[in-house]
């Protein structure tokens, strides 16, 4: 992370960083306010945070479910609300959410996570409709299995026909494109970008 930030600064980019606990309902407004204070008007919001974790139906508790919903759903919607409130109607407003493929195949060992990510999937069209009159598009990306450190030494074959797990850059390229003018006519979509993942 520090290396990436250093590279961005070396290229003349402005980079700010803050930590927030998205179980706190006030955190989304603090994050958007901090971004606006640092950069002025915000054109793009990428909702890429997540609470993840295992737990099948016999293990999940009310506390677990609340935590997944607070972090993955409530905070995402509040972030979008705050982002939209500061948006001045100029063209090019973009929101990109991240989901997890639970709409394609079951994730029965991750009940709380799957349900919360499914909520974002289902909310995509509604949020897109709510914001299109303000010049903001809303789309969701499902990046499939991505090597961010959690996969460990599991082999990608035969599940991944291209012979590797997804990399963060695979999702980043799609997200970057959705934020360009080339994608200005696309809203309310959930895009699966899984590299041919075979469940």
In tens, the pLDDT along 118-172 reads 999 999 999 999 999 999 999 999 999 999 888 888 999 999 999 999 999 999 9
pLDDT value at 14 more than 90:
no
Tell me: the pLDDT tens digits for 171-198?
999 999 999 999 999 999 999 999 999 9
In a domain, 162, yes or no: yes
- Chain-centroid distance, C-alpha 110: 18
Instruction: Give the three-class secondary structure for 47.
Output: strand
Check: CB of residue 190 under 8 Å from CB of residue 124.
yes
Q: What pLDDT does 157 receive?
A: 93
Q: Are 122 and 102 in contact (CB under 8 A)?
A: no
22 assigned to some structural domain = no
Is residue 111 a part of any domain in this protein? yes
Q: What pTM, to 2 d.p., does this model score? A: 0.92
Given 22, 83, 113, 197, which residue is catalytic?
A: 113
Is the pLDDT score of 8 beyond 90?
A: no
Q: Is residue 178 part of a domain?
A: yes
Residue 9 lies in a domain: no
* 186, HSE (Cβ side, Cα atoms, 13 Å): 17
Tell me, yes or no, if 8 is annotated catalytic.
Answer: no
Is 91's pLDDT higher than 70? Answer: yes
Whole-angstrom CA distances from 74 to 158, 167, 168, 173 are 36, 27, 25, 27
Query: Could you tell me if residue 17 is inside a domain?
Result: no
Q: Please report which confidence band the pLDDT of residue 1 belongs to, taking 50, 70 and 90 as the band edges.
A: low
Q: Per the structure, how many domains does the chain have?
A: 1
Domain residues for the domain of 185 are 27-192
- Kindly state the average pLDDT of the residues 90-115: 96
Percentage of the chain surpassing pLDDT 90? 87
Task: Specify the pLDDT at position 169.
Answer: 96
Task: Evaluate whether residue 20 is within a structural domain.
Answer: no
Give the alpha-carbon dihedral of 78, 83, 88, 90, to 10 degrees: -120
Q: Is residue 16 part of a domain?
A: no
pLDDT at 15: 83
We report the CATH number of the domain holding residue 157 as: 3.40.50.720
pLDDT digits (tens, 9 = 90+) for 26-72: 999 999 999 999 999 999 999 999 999 999 999 999 999 999 999 99
């Amino acid at each position: 992370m520090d290396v990436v930030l250093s590279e961005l600064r070396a290229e003349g980019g402005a980079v700010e960083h803050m930590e927030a606990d998205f179980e706190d309902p006030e955190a989304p407004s603090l994050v958007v306010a901090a971004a606006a204070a640092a950069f002025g008007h915000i054109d793009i919001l990428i909702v890429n945070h997540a609470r993840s974790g295992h737990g099948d139906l016999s293990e999940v508790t009310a506390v677990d479910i609340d935590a997944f919903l607070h972090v993955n759903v409530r905070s995402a919607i509040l972030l979008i609300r705050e982002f939209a409130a500061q948006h001045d109607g100029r063209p090019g407003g973009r929101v990109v959410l991240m989901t997890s493929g639970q709409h394609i195949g079951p994730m029965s060992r991750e009940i709380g996570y799957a349900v919360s990510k499914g909520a974002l999937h289902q909310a995509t069209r509604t949020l897109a409709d709510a914001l299109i009159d303000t010049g903001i598009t809303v789309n969701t990306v499902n990046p499939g299995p991505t090597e961010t450190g959690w996969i460990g030494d599991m082999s990608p074959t035969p599940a991944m026909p291209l012979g590797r797990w997804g990399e963060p850059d695979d999702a980043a390229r799609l997200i970057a494109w959705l934020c360009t003018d080339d994608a200005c006519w696309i809203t309310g979509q959930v895009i699966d970008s899984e590299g041919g993942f075979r469940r």
